[in-house]
Amino acid sequence: MRLALIGPVYPYRGGIAHYTTFLAQRLRNAHDVLVISFRRQYPRWLFPGRSDRDPSAQSIQIENVHYILDPFSILSWFKTVALLKSFGPELLLTQWWTPFWMPSLTAILYFFRKACPRVPVVTICHNIISHEEHWWDNLIARLFLRLPDHCIVHSESSKLHLLRLIPDAKTTLLDFPQYEGLIPVSYSRTEARHELDVSEDEPILLFFGFVRPYKGLEYLLRALARVNSSPVKLLVVGEFWHDRQSYLQLIDSLGIGDRVLIIDEYVPNERIGLYFATADALVLPYVKTSQSAVMQLAFETNVPIIASNVSGIGEYIAEGINGLLVQPGSVDDLARAIALYFQNDLGPAMRQNMAGLKSDRWEILIDRIMEIGNLEGSSRKT
């Protein structure tokens, strides 16, 4: 099949860029795929990170990409449509994750439909609205998500939210695929802990990824202060996209400064394995989310997960098998789970379980995309 895919890919960084790059690579194993990405993604005022480019020495790369789309250049939108028209895809795949892209993507889909009315459009919805919700998010999502023929989501909450906005939307819920191949360097526990100057027997928790309010780091810090049965330490590894000083003040007021190590940076691929090999468990104390690429890294490295029971995470964790679930926003519940995990030495059995639970979700996703494309394509031709 001739496919066109629009979305961020290497050299952009972050979970959605990784997702789109992996998807493009795997689609190209069997199909002719046109990949269109961005010449520029965000203005500085909208992107709090230091850079949106991947600093990895060993990155997941992809060739033959057309970097033409610019949210501030209407000319680039029409160039995108012209390129799509000349390629003549049988299916167009787009990504949706933030309202910022609504004007450009709406224009592209509108004029693409004018030029290629029989070609189905499938949109993969990573988020229906922003994590830090604004009053206009639902309106913008409703305007754009009426345009695709079919939407793919990776959590029950995303499906329900989409159907509340657009009751007749065609929607498919599929498991979020694992990020196999993102981590190029593996470490033993001994090697990783030696490099980070951590003793072999210290209980270590890991909070990994961009620090944003919805991820609930505040609750984890408060819970850590209540776990006194063992000297549990916490690695906070990721770029702060939210007031770092407020977290430092909280750590100081809780008296846990000697138990928290902060590494405020975007982690290149070759060092991801270092932190996961060091950790006894990954903690995802999210208040809400629609999915988690960080969780997929834990599955890839067989690191058990202690997480809030929110949609996008809860359905991937089997209680006591590969992790523990807690009530979102409950410091007491999170502290109890952390204490239970270490007091009962649950890690070894969970790691063994995780090694046997892996499956190729990319193959399932791509097979379903092909089914949807053929079905919607037939519908448009009639």
- CA 111 to CA 310: how far, in whole Å? 38
pLDDT of amino acid 139 = 93
- Res 185 pLDDT > 70: yes
Just give the CATH number of 2-178+360-381. 3.40.50.2000
Residue 14 burial (CB < 10 Å; 0-12/13-18/19+)?
A: middle
How many CA atoms does the CB half-sphere of 113 hold within 13 Å? 13
- Residues paired with 66 in a beta bridge: 36
Average pLDDT rounded to a whole number, residues 36-54: 76
How many other C-beta atoms are found inside a 10 Å radius of the C-beta of residue 355?
11
Amino acid at 62: I
- Res 382 pLDDT > 70: no
Assess contact for 198 and 227: CB atoms under 8 A.
Answer: no
- Res 79 pLDDT > 70: yes
- Res 49 pLDDT > 70: no
What is the H or E stretch that residue 263 is in? strand 260-263
Detail the DSSP E strand segments found in 289-354.
305-308, 323-326
pLDDT of amino acid 48 = 62
- Structurally, at CATH architecture level, domain 189-355 sits in 3-Layer(aba) Sandwich (3.40)
- Sorted by sequence, the CB contacts under 8 Å of residue 39 that are 6+ apart come out as 67, 68, 69, 70, 73, 76
pLDDT of amino acid 14 = 86
- Res 107 pLDDT > 90: yes
Average pLDDT rounded to a whole number, residues 3-11: 95
- CA 350 to CA 354: how far, in whole Å? 6
- CA 373 to CA 367: how far, in whole Å? 10
pLDDT of amino acid 24 = 96
CA atoms 246, 248, 251, 253: torsion sign: negative
- CA 151 to CA 13: how far, in whole Å? 24
Amino acid at 10: Y
Angle between helices 293-301 and 269-278 (to 10 degrees): 70
- Report the candidate in 53, 55, 81 with the shortest Cα–Cα distance to residue 66: 81
pLDDT tens-digit series, residues 339-348: 999 999 999 9
How many CA atoms does the CB half-sphere of 264 hold within 13 Å? 11
- Report the candidate in 147, 70, 126, 75 with the shortest Cα–Cα distance to residue 101: 70
**Fold matches, 2-178+360-381 and 189-355:** yes
- Res 262 pLDDT > 70: yes
Amino acid at 42: Y
Helix (H, G, I), strand (E, B) or coil at 62: coil
pLDDT of amino acid 85 = 96
pLDDT of amino acid 52 = 79
- CA 33 to CA 4: how far, in whole Å? 6
With cut-offs at 50, 70 and 90, classify the pLDDT of residue 243: confident
Distances in whole angstroms, Cα of residue 99 to Cα of each of 106, 144, 381:
11, 9, 31
- Res 359 pLDDT > 80: no
pLDDT of amino acid 188 = 94
Please give the structure tokens belonging to residue 374.
């053929």
Q: Which of the pair, 289 or 63, is modelled with greater confidence?
A: 63
Pick from 121-135, 317-331, 359-373 the range whose average pLDDT is largest. 317-331
pLDDT tens-digit series, residues 168-177: 999 999 988 8
Q: Which of the pair, 51 or 372, is modelled with greater confidence?
A: 372
Q: How far apart are the first and last CA of the chain?
A: 19
| Mean pLDDT of the residues in the chain | 91
With cut-offs at 50, 70 and 90, classify the pLDDT of residue 239: very high
Please give the structure tokens belonging to residue 149.
């023929």
How many other C-beta atoms are found inside a 10 Å radius of the C-beta of residue 39?
14
How many other C-beta atoms are found inside a 10 Å radius of the C-beta of residue 275?
24
Question: Domain map of the chain by residue range?
Answer: 2-178+360-381, 189-355
pLDDT tens-digit series, residues 13-23: 888 999 999 99
pTM over cut 0.75: yes
How many other C-beta atoms are found inside a 10 Å radius of the C-beta of residue 7?
25
pLDDT of amino acid 46 = 61
- Give the percent of the chain with pLDDT over 70: 97
Detail the DSSP E strand segments found in 64-120.
65-69, 91-96
